[in-house]
Amino acid sequence: MKDQATIHGAVHTDLQHESAFKHVTGRATYTDDIAEPVGTLHAYLGVATETHARIRKIDLDPVRNAPGVIDVLTAEDIPGHNDISPTGRNDEPVFPTDKVEFNGQPLFAVIAETRDAARRAAERAKVDYDPLPHALDPVAAQEAGYPHITDPLTLSRGDASAALEKAKHRIGGRMVVGGQDHMYLEGHIAFAVPGEDDDVIVHCSTQHPSEAQHMVAHVLGVPSNAVTVNVRRMGGGFGGKESQMNLFCAVAAIAAKKWNRAVKIRPDRDQDMTATGKRHDFVIDYDVGFDDEGRIEAVDGQFAARCGYSSDLSGPVTDRALFHADNAYFYPHVRLESHPMKTNTVSNTAFRGFGGPQGVIAAERMVEEIAYALGKDTLDIRKANFYGEGRDVTPYHQTVEDNIMPRIVEELEASADYQSRREAVLAHNAKGGIIRRGIALTPVKFGISFTATWYNQAGALVHVYNDGSIHLNHGGTEMGQGLNTKVAQVVAETFQVDVDRIKITRTTTEKVPNTSATAASSGSDLNGMAALDAAEQIKARLVDFATERWQAEPEEVQFRPNRVQIRDEVISFDAFIKEAYMARVHLSAAGFYKTPKIHWDRATGKGRPFYYYAYGAACSEVEIDTLTGEYRVLRTDILHDVGRSLNPVLDKGQVEGAFIQGMGWLTTEELWWDDAGRLRTHAPSTYKIPLASDRPREFNVNLADWSENREMTIKRSKAVGEPPFMLGISVFEALSMAVASVADYRECPRLDAPATPERVLMAVERLKAGRAA
């Protein structure tokens, strides 16, 4: 019999975010919305006002005597270990004991009856410092002899030095790439409720519940089974809540157990921005050799990063910058080195792309250099250097097996009408005048998997209740990206039921243990497969039950939309589940998944760190005012590869948002420390994220619907969180072309990022001065 019915929420179909109405109506519950028990206390951090100094003495009596204050937490009050380093390097204390390493470093926490009382009291501390010299950026740190904060990495293939010497053309340069604040809508927050014995429950906004669990256990000196971490949803994360939440969870938990009362800590936006890490700034020195056609022959790259005072995740972040320093291009001979520098700034951390964007933009700068040196279109140089047959091995010795980059670029070049628009841009600029235009089409190839191989695993828990309703829990966290919606679609498809009957519950370490961070674009890949495993276990038991109960063959048991067909008999899903329950069929399963094929040897710089690659391309056109440096984005066209999309409308939204955030990183989002080491861009009033008015006037986003992941990912889809972030580079490159027009495209403008109007204006003036000379 032919089945014409369908299920609501099947995979590969558009389905709105499961909390969409709650988001827009304000009914979505976040950590700060949880009802507080009677007697809840509030914590606030007291922070250092020096950048690098020895602590001679701290007088906290004025703090303790302030109205509403219960007491103050210091390092002496930590019952376990005074360390929250996510990599176990023991270099990130909850509170320092003898030395301040950056301006704004937390020194203590005030515990008070109200948040306002705690916040006001924190300002009363009297700290006597013995100032020490400081270094704020990677170059200053190198000059001052500061150490690497973690072990550097070298990727090498061939003989880069010899090939550079032999190359007909050779260009070297330096590019400064700025950092970025996460600027999530919901700031950091932790709410700890003490339990009996060693138990404590922590509600918080974290992308890594298991790490928060282990860190709280570590500082309390208790086993992990005594700590439960709950996350219903986050108001954005972008990597800023992968490890940075550890501090707030630790403070809340220590205080909760010390006073046996619930404790909440929520910094204001200024303290959130000064006390937590950001995207790593990089200073990149490159040396590239190439032939007359613009084909790259050798590359040497040195990647120095502002890592901050502790290691945090700087090791894997700077590693990934090297992994993506090739972007979509083959380097016959290559040597890439990372220099993760300790600096007297807040410890930088994960951010969407996890170092990859800093590597990709270095590749694109080298393409620019070659194009302007040879008088060619940058797109021609890109095409000449794409990976291809016989040119398919990366600097880390992984073979690129799924390369669809040429097709992506070819289709976008046609749909965006790149060639004729570029001719129009050239004609416009040839007339001279104040307003200059630029256009650029840039690609991205992004490796998908955690480079820490052990993180490529996930668990899930599925219950089918005897009324046919389904409970789903997995180890991923929902931060607005639609992960819960996608995983629910996978389970609904497996059982052939409407997605409405699936209840997704908060992420909790009580249900799924040892979870990996929701990061590295792996949320759907890992948790979707784990949920599928659990659902298929239950489904297999149901098939076994049906074959026995109806004396049927397994192939005669078919799950249809919201019902089950056994031979010619059709029974509703609810009734079928009820019968299975009465027959004592186990209707619950824990699923598990680990990514296959991946391996990585960091010591040799060789392996297959990525399961597959995601691809995309963007074409952006801009115009600049050469008298002020101000600019606007006229049009952007994007074609992005998500494989067989689990949910096209959600994936398209992710592409759009990632592009805008990437554009912001490279244009307006400037972090600035003064000479004293104080972060001056510490609030929305001084730190400029893109506005609605900054988006391209014309914005066309399409998914490559013909793509299908050749690897056995969840329903043949591909990750979408991070790869499209780098599409914003097209705006940066277009700005560069507009600037280059004032010198007839004879010189690469060498814009540093972010390309603020001030930097654009200075680049214009520099090229004008050079032309005049």
Active-site positions read: 722
Q: What are residue 755's phi and psi, to 5 degrees?
A: -85, 70
Q: Is the peptide bond before 86 cis (omega within 30 degrees of 0)?
A: no
* Distance of alpha carbon 655 from alpha carbon 652, whole angstroms: 5
Q: Which residue has the tokens 């805008």?
A: 660
Residue 335's Cβ-side half-sphere holds a number of Cα atoms within 13 Å equal to 12
* Distance of alpha carbon 371 from alpha carbon 747, whole angstroms: 9
Beta pairing partners, 55: 129
**Residue 165: Cβ within 10 Å count:** 11
Q: Is 419 helix (H, G, I), strand (E, B) or coil?
A: helix
* Distance of alpha carbon 22 from alpha carbon 173, whole angstroms: 50
Instruction: Pull the structure tokens for residue 729.
Output: 């580079």
Instruction: Pull the structure tokens for residue 48.
Output: 């250092």
Measure the CA dihedral 655/656/661/663, to 10°: 100
The contacts of residue 32 (CB under 8 Å, 6+ apart) are: 186, 189, 191, 264, 266
* Distance of alpha carbon 8 from alpha carbon 500, whole angstroms: 8
Pairing of strands 470-474, 69-73: unpaired
Angle in degrees, CA 196, 202, 207, rounded to 5? 150
* Distance of alpha carbon 617 from alpha carbon 614, whole angstroms: 11
Pairing of strands 557-560, 563-566: antiparallel
**Residue 292: Cβ within 10 Å count:** 8
- 56-76: string of b/e by CB count within 10 Å (b at 16+)? eebebeebeebebbbbbbbee
Instruction: Pull the structure tokens for residue 10.
Output: 């099947």
Of the candidates 261, 347, 439, the one whose C-alpha atom is nearest the C-alpha of residue 89 is 347
The residue count for the chain? 773
* Distance of alpha carbon 666 from alpha carbon 205, whole angstroms: 27
